[in-house]
Amino acid sequence: MKALVYHGNGKKQWETMADPKILRDTDAIIRVDSSTICGTDLHILEGGVPWIAPGRILGHEGTGTVLEVGRGTSSLAVGDRVLCKCVASCGKCRYCRSGQFGQCVDEEGGWMLGGKADGVQAEYARIAHADNSLVKVPQDMSDEQVIYLSDIMVTGFEVGVLRANVQPGETVVVVGAGPVGLSTMAVARLYSPATIIAVELSPARRDVARSFADIVVSPEEALAAVHSATDGLGADVAIEAVGRAKTFEHCCELVRVGGRVANIGLHSHPATLHLETLWLKEITITTGIPNHRTAHILLKAIKSGVLDPTKLTSHRYASLHDMMKAYEAFEHPAETNAMKILLGSGACCGNG
Ligand code: ZN
Ligand code: ZN
């Protein structure tokens, strides 16, 4: 099969690899029907996730069709259309028992796909703990409608909106209007906040953010915009969706006394916690990765039309074999305005 392989030092190649095989009874093999690229893949390529070794097939967001199941699987059948979760879970360990599936301590648990194990930027993939790691896709839903539930939309919901406990009538500021930031704004809307404020450096991304947020500003304008929306108090909730020290520190500045800061971004460098100002602010800071407990809820919201993830797609390539072209577009968003890139499923190739 062909797959996108990480070769270290920023290098990658779409090349021939061995077809995946069932290794454990709880595995399944899928044909990948659609795949996409995530900011996390770029962090890996930059060397920002040093424990990921060269030779790894990248990709943790995708949909597929089950081709083969191990004897230990019980909920899947050959031919099922499935969504891949970005985290795998054994269902038995201390963390799985408390619903923290993303922290599963099994050797094939936690963030596996395109990280500890070969991922889904490939024609075929082995999925560990398949019963827990795959979500069946209703026949009347397209791959594009569900694929962003592999990671970004569930991450925005679980790590951003739910951890920050967004409430009706609140002011929510999201710092970063890339794919994860926009997903977070879309799912925050489900809780009816009064105002969603998007803070974004790139003018092109600010344009896209206007269809997700009520107020869209540059980082320099953010403090004034937040104060004017909140009678000078600050945001009830500030969500970090970039993964840089500056954006995390900015969230701590924009949040009101007693407010909540939820960090979503993957950080490769330390950030400063300004306790000299925060010690009296009574704020709550949360971090985490998704546990992937909510894909089925968001699936229903999408099916009913309350949530439309397809707004995130900026580029479509009909074939997975266009992976290198897709990376080229995704790595240069300033020139291409890339947001999410859908590959496969015969996705219309208007931008291909
Ligand atoms: Zn991702
Ligand atoms: Zn576990």
Read off the pLDDT band of 348 (50, 70, 90).
Answer: low
Tell me how far the alpha carbon of residue 336 is from its chain's centroid. Answer: 20
Asked if residues 240 and 175 have their Cβ atoms less than 8 Å apart, the reply is yes
pLDDT tens-place string over residues 226-242: 999 999 999 999 999 99
In-domain check, residue 55 = yes
Query: What is the rounded average pLDDT for all residues in the chain?
Result: 96
Using the mean position of ligand 2's atoms as its centre, give its distance from the Cα of residue 225 in Å. Answer: 43
What b/e readout covers 240-273, taking b as 16+ CB neighbours within 10 angstroms?
Answer: bbbbbeebbbbbbbbbbeebbbbbbbbbeeebee
Using the mean position of ligand 1's atoms as its centre, give its distance from the Cα of residue 102 in Å. Answer: 13
Asked if residues 120 and 20 have their Cβ atoms less than 8 Å apart, the reply is no
Using the mean position of ligand 2's atoms as its centre, give its distance from the Cα of residue 292 in Å. Answer: 13
Instruction: Characterise 66 by phi-psi region: left (phi > 0), alpha (psi -120 to 50), beta (else).
Output: beta
pLDDT tens-place string over residues 268-302: 899 999 999 999 999 999 999 999 999 999 999 99
Q: Residue 63 forms beta bridges with which residues?
A: 34, 83
The whole-model pTM stands at 0.95
Domain that holds residue 203: 156-286
Q: What share of the chain has pLDDT > 70, as a percent?
A: 98
| Segment 163-168 mean pLDDT | 98
Q: For position 139, what pLDDT does the model report?
A: 92
- 110: which residues sit within 8 A by CB, 6+ positions away? 87, 88, 89, 102, 103, 104, 116
**Number of separate domains in the chain:** 2
Using the mean position of ligand 2's atoms as its centre, give its distance from the Cα of residue 261 in Å. Answer: 28
Using the mean position of ligand 2's atoms as its centre, give its distance from the Cα of residue 25 in Å. Answer: 16
Q: Which residue has the tokens 């398949």?
A: 130
| Segment 158-175 mean pLDDT | 98
Residues 124 and 66 in one domain: yes
Question: Nearest Cα to 180, choosing from 274, 122, 247, 120?
Answer: 247
Residues 10 and 133 in one domain: yes
Residues 237 and 300 in one domain: no
Q: For position 350, what pLDDT does the model report?
A: 43
Residues 272 and 162 in one domain: yes
In-domain check, residue 313 = yes
Asked if residues 238 and 217 have their Cβ atoms less than 8 Å apart, the reply is no
